[in-house]
Amino acid sequence: MRLFAPHELKHVNYYWNDATASALDPVERLIYRSNRLGDDQRITNTGGGNTSAKITMPDPLTGEPVEVLWVKGSGGDLRTAKRANFASIYMSKLNALREIYQATPNNGVKTAVEDQMVGMYAHATFNLNATATSIDTPLHGFVPFKHVDHTHPDAVIAVAASARGRELTQEIYGDEVIWVDWQRPGFDLGLKLKAVCEQYPNAKGVILGQHGLINWADDEKECYELSLTLIELAARYIETHDKGEDTFGGQQFAVLPDAEIAALLGDVLPYLRGKMSADHRFIGTVQLGGAVAQFVNSKDVVRLAELGTSCPDHFLRTKIKPLYVAWNPQTDTLDTLKAQLDAGFVAYRADYQAYYDACKRADSPAIRDANPRVILIPGVGLIAWGKNKSESRVTAEFYLNAINVMRGAEAISAYIALPRQETFDIEYWALEEAKLRRMPPEKSLARNVVVVIGAGSGIGRAVAERVAKEGAHVVCADLNLDAAQETADALVKTYGVGIGVAGTGISSCGAAIAAQVNITQRASVRQLLAQVLMAYGGVDNVIVTAGVFVSPDATGHITDDRWQMTFDVNVLGSYIVADETRTVWTAQGLRGTLVITTSVNGVVSKKGSLAYDTSKAAANHLIRELAVELAPLVRVNGVAPATVVDGSSMFPRDRVISSLSKYNISHSEDETTESLRDKLAHFYAGRTLMKLPITPEDQAEACYLLSVDSFAKTTGQVISVDGGLHEAFMR
Ligand SMILES: [Zn+2]
């Protein structure tokens, strides 16, 4: 087989650089090859596929040269893989395992001894490498070539998931690529590949039925180029057979205009999230346009969606099939859509139970959540769900892969899915269950979407940081978009963007986004919530920390318009936020929380802050009124801070200086703002019972606690976080 030159490749990108590669050690070159393969999504899906190299290196005890299999381990991703993502095992010990396996009676695919081998890899570990090996390790170890790439390219899976897969493999690749029928990966499949290499000494790779591609070479660059060539050949073959406008039987419906899709999603997303989240909350990702639009609006979507996805990587995230609703976007109403979704969920869950009952074995784990993970709506697109944003993006990405696979397979033959028993034996595999059980317990705000208003500075920023630490998806909203963006960027930097490449517009986001909002404008709050729904699919907790303090002018007066502004921000704004979010909470039907920041000044009258204090007294009562209005779905509580000077936008330099002067605290105009604030904070601390300065973090802790189940039975209350000011005690 002739390998394509870089300029001949149209369907994959060539990234190999000799100068870069030659400067690396053999393990680094494997990582380099893996990353370059992963860089092109057409080569493999996020988290999918694995690579290996058999490298001779000195044994850490004897110093003798030994052959070590370096192979991408469980978890991780080719695109981002580092040394820590690779397991290393002695080839001699892997071969010893093979002898044990072969000597065991009743060995073979899905036997007990096959699964037991996974636990034995630890005995074969080279140099105490803690990275867990994956179930694909034997696929690499038993192929007698130095370098092996295993990938999940859509173009190759299209061949692998075709009714004529075996014949097409011969037609596209001749005798150098061998077809192997679907088999669950494990020790036995590794031995089948070994047998292929012995039977066909010229073979360069294998099409794994309904799964993917595996190929090999003794030179690593050749292995890389071979991977690209084999994918290019499949993609070219599909391209020449592409059905163009007749793809998926042609289009049945037209895509709705953007504005109609946006309005529909605003209504349907929280409704769907409620349906999804009866047992656990889910986070959504919306995918519109392109291949998704072509698929959901096609004539064949009903037949193909029902068949389900093929590659194991895909259906572990997408579930065996999506929920498709036969809604006519051109003639049916939104109410019809909701009724169809309702009926669709009921049917889907019943179907999943039937699948479980029909396929379960004596020792199968208990049935898992029966809800779909992918929802297809004609005229609109795809909505994917996962336990967090990263996972929901992965789910959307994998269904896009599945659509590409179906498009290719239907162009060159007919798409066929795996038999349901085979998908079940992957989905409910004891090893898969063990992996789920090893997951760390979820954090208190995992699966939650928290909107923090005022997140650009002070208490709001501290709240955003606090809830992010608890696993929340954080919407950092502020009047000042740049400040909000800074907070969101810092959160994404700390917690990472996750994996999965999908999502239209803001729906491709990570676990934090920034948004501009003016809470005194209803339209602005609506706009904010529309963004939040598009990003995550719903809202659970809202924390309002935005507020304004207006100082009297030189004559000691506050003008009427400044009074109005104070009430607009401190009272009306919180009301508008509550009133608008109520629509989302009601549509979801899930319990939520609202925390409003007021002030101890709401109960302590003081000279010079007439408008502010009065507005905060009103805000305290707003909390009680809202608690009544929003019960039983939403708990509403307040946090009343006192004199948080540190980092507060309500204590600009002028106000700090005027307060220092008012209290006769010695200071100089030359001092830094920080030093002036420090003096004032210590003065205020001295007036409290606890004698401690009050920080934004203290307020954030209270806001957080009122948002989680620590206070599940408390609503309509205001908690002072003021270091103990006896004049502010509630009576
Ligand atoms: Zn695979």
Per residue in 412-458, pLDDT (tens digit) is 999 999 999 999 999 999 888 888 888 899 999 999 999 999 999 99
Ligand 1 centroid to residue 212 C-alpha, Å = 6
- Neighbour count for residue 64 (Cβ, 10 Å): 7
- For the chain, what percent of residues have pLDDT higher than 90? 85
Ligand 1 centroid to residue 150 C-alpha, Å = 7
Ligand 1 centroid to residue 497 C-alpha, Å = 24
Average pLDDT value for residue range 313-335: 94
Checking if the pLDDT of 183 tops 80, the result is yes
Mind giving me the DSSP string for 670-716?
Answer: TS-HHHHHHHHHHHHHHTSSS-----HHHHHHHHHHHHSGGGTT--S
pLDDT of residue 81: 94
Reference 453, options 478, 473, 472; nearest CA is 478
Ligand 1 centroid to residue 184 C-alpha, Å = 10
Ligand 1 centroid to residue 313 C-alpha, Å = 7
- Separation of alpha carbons 46 and 124, rounded Å: 28
Residue 381: strand pairing partners? 288, 377
Ligand 1 centroid to residue 369 C-alpha, Å = 24
pLDDT of residue 655: 82
**What Å distances lie between residue 613 and 160, 258, 595, 720, CA to CA?**
70, 45, 19, 15
Ligand 1 centroid to residue 607 C-alpha, Å = 71
pLDDT of residue 278: 87
Residue carrying structure tokens 């150098």:
176
Ligand 1 centroid to residue 398 C-alpha, Å = 13
Ligand 1 centroid to residue 32 C-alpha, Å = 20
Ligand 1 centroid to residue 453 C-alpha, Å = 44
pLDDT of residue 551: 82
Ligand 1 centroid to residue 48 C-alpha, Å = 6
- Neighbour count for residue 246 (Cβ, 10 Å): 14
Residue 671 vs residue 474, higher pLDDT: 474
Which residues contact residue 667 at a Cβ distance below 8 angstroms, ignoring those fewer than 6 apart?
657, 660, 661, 676, 679
Ligand 1 centroid to residue 38 C-alpha, Å = 14
Ligand 1 centroid to residue 190 C-alpha, Å = 12
Ligand 1 centroid to residue 140 C-alpha, Å = 11
Ligand 1 centroid to residue 401 C-alpha, Å = 14
Give the pLDDT band of residue 321 (cuts 50, 70, 90).
very high
Angle, vertex CA 232, rays to CA 398 and CA 34, nearest 5: 60
Ligand 1 centroid to residue 50 C-alpha, Å = 8
Residue 125: strand pairing partners? 89
pLDDT of residue 431: 84
Ligand 1 centroid to residue 361 C-alpha, Å = 24
pLDDT of residue 436: 83
Ligand 1 centroid to residue 55 C-alpha, Å = 23
Ligand 1 centroid to residue 133 C-alpha, Å = 14
Ligand 1 centroid to residue 117 C-alpha, Å = 18
Ligand 1 centroid to residue 22 C-alpha, Å = 29
Ligand 1 centroid to residue 652 C-alpha, Å = 58
Ligand 1 centroid to residue 146 C-alpha, Å = 19
Torsional sign, CA 196, 197, 200, 204:
positive
Q: Read off the tokens for 309.
A: 């996805």
Q: Read off the tokens for 572.
A: 């009306």
- Separation of alpha carbons 512 and 490, rounded Å: 9
Ligand 1 centroid to residue 418 C-alpha, Å = 14
Ligand 1 centroid to residue 312 C-alpha, Å = 7
Checking if the pLDDT of 197 tops 90, the result is yes
Q: Are strands 65-72 and 50-58 parallel, antiparallel or unpaired?
A: antiparallel
Ligand 1 centroid to residue 281 C-alpha, Å = 29
Q: Read off the tokens for 141.
A: 């170890």
Ligand 1 centroid to residue 211 C-alpha, Å = 6
HEC profile of 506-568: HHHCCCEEEEECCCCCHHHHHHHHHHHHHHHCCCCEEEECCCCCCCCCCCCCCCHHHHHHHHH
Contact 168, 413 (CB under 8 A): yes
Ligand 1 centroid to residue 196 C-alpha, Å = 18
- Coil, strand, or helix at residue 4? coil
- Separation of alpha carbons 5 and 2, rounded Å: 9
> If phi over 0 gives left and psi between -120 and 50 gives alpha, with beta otherwise, what is residue 728?
alpha
Average pLDDT value for residue range 625-647: 92
Checking if the pLDDT of 645 tops 70, the result is yes
- Separation of alpha carbons 480 and 726, rounded Å: 35
Ligand 1 centroid to residue 151 C-alpha, Å = 6
Ligand 1 centroid to residue 509 C-alpha, Å = 27
Residue carrying structure tokens 């389900």:
308
Ligand 1 centroid to residue 503 C-alpha, Å = 24
Reference 54, options 10, 84, 88; nearest CA is 88
Tell whether omega for the bond before 105 is within 30 degrees of 0, i.e. cis. Answer: no
Q: Read off the tokens for 610.
A: 């007439």
Ligand 1 centroid to residue 207 C-alpha, Å = 11
Mind giving me the DSSP string for 273-312?
Answer: HHHHTSSS--EEEEEESHHHHHHHTBSSHHHHHHH---SH
Ligand 1 centroid to residue 428 C-alpha, Å = 17
pLDDT of residue 412: 98
Ligand 1 centroid to residue 416 C-alpha, Å = 18
C-alpha neighbours within 13 Å on the C-beta side of residue 31: 17
pLDDT of residue 231: 98
Ligand 1 centroid to residue 427 C-alpha, Å = 14
For 534-585, write each residue's pLDDT tens digit: 999 999 999 999 999 888 888 889 999 999 999 999 999 999 999 999 999 9
pLDDT of residue 678: 87
pLDDT of residue 649: 66
pLDDT of residue 389: 97
Checking if the pLDDT of 627 tops 80, the result is yes
Q: Read off the tokens for 13.
A: 């990108």
pLDDT of residue 552: 83
Ligand 1 centroid to residue 528 C-alpha, Å = 41
- Coil, strand, or helix at residue 447? coil
pLDDT of residue 658: 85
Average pLDDT value for residue range 120-141: 94
- Coil, strand, or helix at residue 142? coil
Ligand 1 centroid to residue 30 C-alpha, Å = 18
Give the pLDDT band of residue 647 (cuts 50, 70, 90).
low
Ligand 1 centroid to residue 343 C-alpha, Å = 35
Instruction: Give me the phi and psi of 478, to 5 degrees please.
Output: -160, 155
Contact 613, 604 (CB under 8 A): yes
Which residues contact residue 431 at a Cβ distance below 8 angstroms, ignoring those fewer than 6 apart?
115, 118, 135
Crossing angle for the helix pair 522-536 and 573-588, nearest 10 degrees?
40
Checking if the pLDDT of 648 tops 70, the result is no
Ligand 1 centroid to residue 135 C-alpha, Å = 10
pLDDT of residue 327: 97
Q: Which of the 8 DSSP states describes residue 367?
A: P
Average pLDDT value for residue range 68-73: 97
Give the pLDDT band of residue 87 (cuts 50, 70, 90).
very high
- Separation of alpha carbons 273 and 539, rounded Å: 10
- Separation of alpha carbons 236 and 568, rounded Å: 63
The one-letter code for the residue type at 280 is H
Ligand 1 centroid to residue 198 C-alpha, Å = 22
Checking if the pLDDT of 215 tops 70, the result is yes
Q: What is the dihedral of CA 569, 575, 576, 582, to 10 degrees?
A: 150
Mean pLDDT, the chain, whole residue set: 95
